[in-house]
A and B are shown apart, each in its own frame.
Chain A
Amino acid sequence: MVNLTIDDKQVTAPKTATIYEAAKLNGIAIPILCHDKKLKPFGACRMCLVEVEQMKGRQIPACTTPVTEGMIIRTSTPDIVKARKMVLELLLLNHPIDCPVCDKAGDCDLQNLTYEYKVDANRFTDEKFHHEIDYNNPLIERDMNRCVLCGKCARICDEIVSFGALTFISRGIETKIGCEFDEALNCEFCGSCVSVCPVGSLLARPFKFKARFWSLTKNKSVCGYCGTGCNLTLGVKDNKVLTTLYDENQGFHNGQLCVRGRFGYQFINSDKRLTKPLVRKNGKLEEAGWDEALELVAARLKDAGASTAALATARLTNEELVVFKQLLQTAGCGNYDHSAGYAHAALTEGFAGSFGASASPSTILDIQKSDLLLVIKTDAYETHPVVGFEINMAVKNKGTLLKILTDKSGKLSKLPDARTLVHTPGSEIAIINSLAKVILDNKLVDASAAALPGYAALEKELAAFTPEAVSAQCGLTAVEIKLLASAYATAEKALILFPVGQAYPGHTAALANAVANLALLAGKLGKEGGGVLCLSEKNNSQGAVDMGFQAGIGAGRIIDGCADGSITTLFLAGENPLVSYPDHARVQAALDKVEFLVVSEMFLTETAAMADVVLPVCSFAEKEGTFTATDRRVQHIKPAIRKVGQSRSDFEIFGALIAKLGGVAPGTPASVFAEISATVPGYTGMSYASLGVEGQFAPVELKPAFVMPNAPAVTVEPGKLALVTGSALYHNGTLSQYGEGPMHVCPEGYVEISRADAAASRFAENDLLTVSSAGGSMKLKAHISARMPQGVVFAPYHFGANPVNQVWSGAPVTWITLAK
């Protein structure tokens, strides 16, 4: 700490602080335009000028100048005020001053500072800019006439997003922020640039002319898409979520969001939302009252008893899952599951065996503290973009080494010094076993490992996984495997990341065991910045595991049970298996066969359309409860708007049904959370108050052991292409189809093929190709890219209109042919 004087006040500040940070820490506000705490100091706008006595009374920028011991600083002398006014006058010289029609009005730094410094007239005159406004995409409007050239957009796109869509072009007064060759913006549309823009140059088009900033109610919430658990601020007016607002102090991510978090909220107030219960009458779904619908469901549950089964989405709150379980138990139903069964197996079976706990031992906060990140599949960026930003920052700012083990390269591969090892699809478990083998052979084993249960057995079982043997089937050389193993083992703090989800059937319990073995052997657990983090797919995937929403025969066999008649009644809470579960024909046949299908849903999904009763439920923005993020951060959500139409929360629906079945309906979400905190390991002692705004980590108690994973044999079908499924950039499950942002970035399914394969078959971009597998065939547009290795194709799974499960039967690798 250093001592300094700011405006006659004796204060202390950390050695590394800038004058601006030191002042802020001590409650002294210095005006800024170009500074952002997430970005590197810039010093361009000259609003933050202060006087430092030791520097001959010169005016220096507070945002770039580090503090030194004994500094005497003045932040607002008459001279400084004059200089700041001058800066504002100069900025307003070319600015259009079109505040009445600017969406930024009320939230605009330039406007607020102009007001604060009482710049009521401009002594200067000059011509206004006449830059053409970029309306070329539906999400981000770029009006460079309003720009103050703070550079924050270009900097965030480079420093955090690592896309680099924006930059300064030209010089002098003609300087502006532009894209490649001064063309239209064409990027991932995460909107980070919009969030940091201090003026109205970059605006969210979906929000344009929807409301004035000051008329919005700002409600804190948690994003309802992926397992990252980003904090959101929803802008609400007239019971509608009209936008998401940027709050740089929110969450570990400092308000940073991806395209679905920022531009994917439209599903909340979508016209397509179901507002009334639907009951099938004479073969058609017709609107009905809640009493009628619930009565029908209750009667059916009573009758069906043990032949009932249920599948839930991992988007329900913890409390809803607990109450759903209670309902099913009341009804005598012993078969329920979530996430297609296999998408949580890495946790429920894998980590449970290896760590003695169904949760990841590490958190997202470890990423930036690590020395080496081993990322399995670059999809970590696509499935969890904000985790991707953390990886970007670790690599670019902290010099963290990045190693990627993947079946295709991706955006993470482009980071500085990133080493991408592209392997044959389906061989990742064998490779990780081989890494463990190298660590064993090279005596890189941590001292703690030998004492763990299963060590001797592992040593024996790994004998077959020499790098030489594995390299023969995985597409990597033995040297590559050895180098990766020694880099991993010798890093002081190393963290392994891998995504799981319905599109990653290969990321199984066995992968989790293999990864855990590697981390345990090398002694990477228990250190800050080291360990293993499994990135779960939905916003409450970890919660569904923690709540134990899984009993009986499992999701796959529930579907089979419907088909063979052993299950007569199926209750689907938010799950859309027709699109997201493997093998479309099999799911279709099962849902056709099942006698009674109840679906609680926000939308009339492909699955809901087949139901006998559809119960309209509300979104995360309309309910209360808790979500558990992928790193076991438990977060509290409160309603931001009243429930849309007659929709009810799943909590209310399940409670009403319990009552109708003669049970005791739960009280409130709060009382259920109290029950959870009393019974669920790790949640002990939690309360809404202790969760606070940013949530609380549920500790994971580890009882490590070595569990030998079964590495599936890598098969190859000559003459065919290996289809791997996954998440498209910025989609998540099937919900993101109802968000404008994700649908702009990626509106429909596609099949991504390598240039070499495309050239060999003379496929062109956007050609409609017939994809045929043993399971069926479908048509998908061709997308040719440099990132795919020859012989491997990729298809995302989110799209209900043309789901990829028509050709994909749940195998990690599906062998297909393509034809025009």
Chain B
Amino acid sequence: MDQILFKHNRPDRVISFDEYCAESGFRALRKALTGMSPEEVQQATIDSGMRGRGGAGFPTGKKWSFVPRDLPGPRYLICNCDEMEPGTYKDRVLLEKNPYLLIEGMALAGYALGVEHAFIFIRRGYELAAENLRRGIVEAERAGFLGRDILNSGFSLSLEVHQSAGRYICGEETALMNALEGRRANPRAKPPFPAVKGLWGQPTVVNNVETLANIPAIIDKGPAWWKSQAATPDAAGTKLFCISGHVSITDCFELPLGMTLGEIIDGPCGGMRNGSNFKACIPGGASTPYFTKEHWNVPMDFDPVAKAGSRLGTGGIVVFDHNTCMVAVTLNLVRFFARESCGWCTPCREGLPLVQHILERIEAGYGEPPDIDILHEHVRHLNHAFCALAPGAMGPVDGLLRHFKDELSEHISGKCCPFRRDTTHTC
């Protein structure tokens, strides 16, 4: 397997523009603008089997194909770099090492979509990444890879970095567009979908950093080559997995899509920390239901993970060992989501704090048996929320109810957290 995204990385610093160019940087852009039509770029993306790396895993080329080309007025491309899902930090690592892949990827996507103005919506805390991007954009403009009439192709693209005012909900694509327009970051109703009516009412595509950063390789080496970098025939490409938790090595790795969970933990992560035992993990960022030992051999690819009852999400794996209380883990996550709810729709605004309080009660030893039913009901009911935040927030609760029901019952029947019995906490 070749590294695609981390290929150019220098261990201690960001790669320079000249170094990137020397390592065949912007070759894909040159290739596309001199020898390919926008449709061919889009088709290559479709052929590559690329699925969006932001969490939902929607086929990228298909998303592009939804954009109507005959509407009057501009179209927009937005790179979603509002990476705020707990356990996920791949975009930051990528951009702190190399902003040019994204810039080239956006130029290619902009060419495919006929976009003249694109935005990078970046999380407020990602100062270094934003600085790299701003400098990279200036360098690319100077070299003629951005700006007016790029490489004499007639295609023009201006790229703008917008630092978010900062909230988890800004990562939801329609809330992001509201934020970019200077409004309160509430999600918008769909339909109309952004591809038809997005930023300022114009057709808009929102793609993740990692998604866009892969486009140069797809164009440069061809979709078939790119697809074959995966570990299984069904998967396509590589994926940035960011690992945290109770493993020996926590880092962001570029790995072939479709490696099993066990291979990842025992391989690049160096196994569990200090000889502790694997209990569970969040497979793809905070909003995905837990995996347990039974999922050890599940290939980490979109469909197999979904089949196993969770989601690959962003590829942010958080590993828990046998000493971890899963009620406490879930409470921690739900607390985050309840805080980050935009407050727009009833189920999310009112339901998440309620779930939080119930979990707090259970963790503190005051839970009642009917609480489990209420949690079940909320897992179902929060699917009716306005956007994906609330259903996502229920991912860990769903996992808790499916895989750790006994642990939950133990909290209630024992009237305390079993993992705190031997600590200072008295029940």
A residues lining the B interface (CB < 8 Å): 41-47, 49, 58-59, 61, 64-66, 83, 86-87, 90-91, 93-94, 123-124, 126, 148-149, 151, 167-168, 170-175
Cβ contact of A83, chosen from B345, B352, B384, cutoff 8 A:
B384
Among B46-54, B59-67, B282-290, B333-341, the stretch that binds chain A is B333-341
Q: A93 CA to B347 CA in the complex, in Å? A: 12
Given contacts A167-B184, A168-B344, 19 further A-B contacts (CB under 8 A): A43-B189, A44-B386, A45-B345, A58-B383, A59-B384, A61-B189, A61-B386, A83-B381, A86-B347, A90-B351, A93-B354, A94-B350, A124-B374, A149-B343, A149-B344, A149-B346, A170-B343, A172-B349, A175-B349
> B377, A172: Cβ atoms under 8 Å?
no
B357 at the interface (CB under 8 A from A): yes
Q: Is the CB of A168 within 8 A of B347?
A: no
Contact A172 B345 (CB under 8 A): no
Residues of B within 8 A of A44 (CB): 344-346, 386
Interface centre among B341, B346, B351, B383 (most CB of A within 10 A): B346
A46 to B345, CA, bound (A): 7
In the bound assembly, the distance between CA atoms of A58 and B385 in angstroms comes to 11
- Contact partners of A41 in chain B: CB under 8 A: 189
Q: What 0/1 pattern do residues 376 to 395 of B give for CB contact below 8 A with A? A: 01000101111000000000
Contact of A173 among B167, B189, B338 (CB under 8 A): B338
Contact A175 B343 (CB under 8 A): yes
Near A by CB (< 8 A), chain B positions 146-190 give: 167, 169, 184, 186, 189
Q: Does A91 lie within 8 Å of B184, measured CB to CB?
A: no
Could you list 26 A-B pairs, sorted by A, with CB under 8 Å?
A44-B344, A46-B345, A46-B346, A46-B385, A47-B346, A61-B386, A64-B189, A83-B384, A87-B347, A91-B350, A123-B370, A126-B354, A149-B343, A149-B349, A167-B184, A168-B184, A168-B344, A171-B169, A171-B339, A172-B342, A172-B352, A173-B341, A173-B350, A173-B352, A175-B342, A175-B343
Docked Cα-Cα span, A94 to B354, in Å, equals 11
- Given contacts A90-B346, A90-B347, A91-B346, whether A172 and B184 have CB atoms under 8 Å apart is no
A87 adjacent to B349 (CB under 8 Å): no
Cα-based distance from A744 to B26 in the complex (angstroms): 67
| In the complex, residue of chain A having the shortest beta-carbon distance to the beta carbon of B168 | A171
Indicate if B35 sits at the interface (CB-CB under 8 A): no
> Hey, which chain A residues are within 8 Å of B377, CB to CB?
86
Contact bitstring B289-333, A, C-beta under 8 A = 1, else 0: 000000000000000000000000000000000000000000000
Most buried by B among A49, A86, A87, A126: A86
B374 & A168 in contact (Cβ 8 Å cutoff): no
Which partner residue on chain A sits nearest B382 by CB separation? A86
- Report the bound CA distance from A31 to B357 in whole Å: 29
What is the bound-complex CA distance between A43 and B186, given in angstroms? 12
Does B38 touch A at the CB level, under 8 Å? no
- Asked if B386 and A123 make an inter-chain contact with CB atoms under 8 angstroms apart, the answer reads no
Tell me which residues across on chain A come within 8 A of B184, comparing CB atoms. 167-168
Counting from the closest, the 6 A-B pairs by CB-CB distance are: A175-B343, A90-B350, A64-B189, A173-B353, A172-B341, A44-B345
Alpha-carbon distance A257/B383, docked complex (angstroms): 39
- A94 closest partner in B (C-beta): B350
Contacts of A123 in B (CB 8 A): 370, 374
Q: Which residues of B contact A91 (CB under 8 A)?
A: 346, 350
Shortest CB-to-CB span from A305 to chain B, Å, is: 70
> Is B191 interfacial (CB 8 A cutoff)?
yes
Do A87 and B346 touch across chains, with their CB atoms under 8 A apart? yes
Query: A172, B347: Cβ atoms under 8 Å?
Result: no
Q: What separation, in Å, do the CA atoms of A500 and B381 have in the docked complex?
A: 57
The complex places the Cα of A701 from the Cα of B385 at a distance, in Å, of 56
A171 touches B346 (CB 8 A): no
Q: How far is the CA of A61 from the CA of B354 in the complex (A)?
A: 23
Task: Given A123-B374, A126-B357, answer yes or no on A173-B343 (Cβ-Cβ < 8 Å).
Answer: yes
Report if A66-B191 is in contact (Cβ < 8 Å); known contacts: A43-B386, A123-B370.
yes
Interfacial chain B residues near A49, Cβ < 8 Å: 384
List of B residues within 8 angstroms of A151 by Cβ: 344
Cross-chain contact B349 with A43 (CB below 8 angstroms) = no
Give Cα A454–Cα B343 distance, bound, in whole angstroms: 64
Closest B residue by C-beta to A43 = B189
Query: Which residues from chain A contact B343 at a C-beta distance below 8 Å?
Result: 149, 168, 170-175
Chain B: residues with Cβ within 8 Å of the partner, total of: 31
A44 to B189 alpha-carbon distance, docked (Å): 9
Name the residue in A42, A44, A94, A126 with the highest tally of chain B Cβ atoms < 10 Å from its Cβ: A44
With both chains docked as a complex, state the minimum distance between the C-beta of B171 and any C-beta of chain A, in angstroms.
14
Q: How far is the CA of A58 from the CA of B190 in the complex (A)?
A: 14
Chain B residues with CB under 8 Å of A170's CB are 343
**How far, in Å, is A80 (CB) from chain B's closest CB?**
9
How distant is the Cα of A151 from the Cα of B186 in the complex, in angstroms?
12
Smallest Cβ-Cβ distance to A64: which chain B residue: B189
**Known interface pairs A66-B191, A86-B381, A124-B374. Does A46 touch B347 (Cβ–Cβ under 8 Å)?**
yes
User: Bound state CA distance, A132 and B133, in angstroms?
Assistant: 46
Residues B370 and A172 in contact, CB atoms below 8 Å apart: no
Most buried by A among B186, B339, B352, B353: B353
Are B353 and A126 touching (Cβ within 8 A)? yes
Q: Can you name the residue of chain B whose Cβ is closest to the Cβ of A45?
A: B346
Chain A residues positioned under 8 Å from B370 (CB to CB)? 123
Q: How far is the CA of A151 from the CA of B189 in the complex (A)?
A: 15
Contacting residues of chain B (176-209) with chain A, CB-CB under 8 angstroms:
184, 186, 189, 191
B344 cross-chain contacts in A, Cβ below 8 A:
44, 149, 151, 168, 175
CA distance A738 to B343 in the complex (A): 42
Bound complex: CA A615 to CA B374 (Å): 70
Q: Which residues of A contact B384 (CB under 8 A)?
A: 46, 49, 59, 83
Is A90 within 8 A of B354, CB to CB? yes
Across-interface contacts of A171 in B (CB, < 8 A): 167, 169, 339-343
- Taking CB atoms, residues of chain A closer than 8 Å to B342 are 171-172, 175
- Cα of A66 to Cα of B190 in the assembled complex, Å: 10
B261 to chain A, nearest CB (A): 29
Return A154 CB to nearest CB of chain B, in Å: 10
Provide the bound-state CA to CA distance between A61 and B339, in Å.
24
Q: In the assembled complex, how far is the CB of residue B174 from the closest CB belonging to chain A, in whole angstroms? A: 12
Instruction: State whether A124 touches B346 (Cβ < 8 A).
Output: no
- Contact, CB under 8 Å: B339 / A172: yes
CA distance in complex: A659, B324 (Å): 99
Residues of chain A contacted by B350 (CB below 8 angstroms):
90-91, 93-94, 173
Complex CA gap A47/B343 in Å reads: 16
Interchain CA distance A87-B169 in the complex, whole Å: 22
Q: Which residue, A90, A168, A171, A174, has most C-beta atoms of chain B within 10 A?
A: A171
- Give A775 to B370 CA distance when docked, in angstroms: 83
Distance in Å: Cβ of A152 to nearest Cβ of chain B: 13
Among residues of A, the one whose C-beta sits closest to the C-beta of B344 is A44
Q: Complex Cα distance A728/B216, Å?
A: 64
Q: Please give the distance in Å from B414's CB to the nearest CB on chain A.
A: 23
CB distance from B425 to the nearest CB of A (A): 24
Task: Identify the closest chain A residue to B345 (Cβ).
Answer: A44
Q: Which residues of B contact A46 (CB under 8 A)?
A: 345-347, 384-386
CB pair A172–B338 under 8 Å, yes or no, is yes
Q: Return B39 CB to nearest CB of chain A, in Å.
A: 28
Minimum CB distance partner of A127 in chain B: B357
Question: In the complex the two chains form, what is the Cα distance from A2 to B384 in whole Å?
Answer: 26
Please determine whether B191 and A65 come into contact, CB atoms closer than 8 angstroms. Answer: yes
Question: Given the interface contacts A46-B385, A171-B340, does A124 sit within 8 Å of B354 by beta carbon?
Answer: yes
Chain A residues within 8 Å of B339, by CB: 171-172
Q: Which residue of A lies closest to B343 (CB)?
A: A175
How many Å lie between the Cα of A45 and that of B340 in the bound state? 18
Distance, CA A126 to CA B169, complexed state (A):
25
* Chain B: minimal CB distance from A157 (Å): 14
0/1 string, B88-122, CB within 8 A of A gives 1: 00000000000000000000000000000000000
| B346 engages A172 (CB within 8 Å) | no
Q: Cα distance A58–B381 when bound, in Å?
A: 11
Query: Which of chain B's residues has its CB closest to A95's CB?
Result: B350
Bound together, the chains give a CA A66 to CA B189 distance in angstroms of: 11
Q: In the assembled complex, how far is the CB of residue A230 from the closest CB belonging to chain B, in whole angstroms?
A: 31
Min CB distance B371 to A, Å, is 10
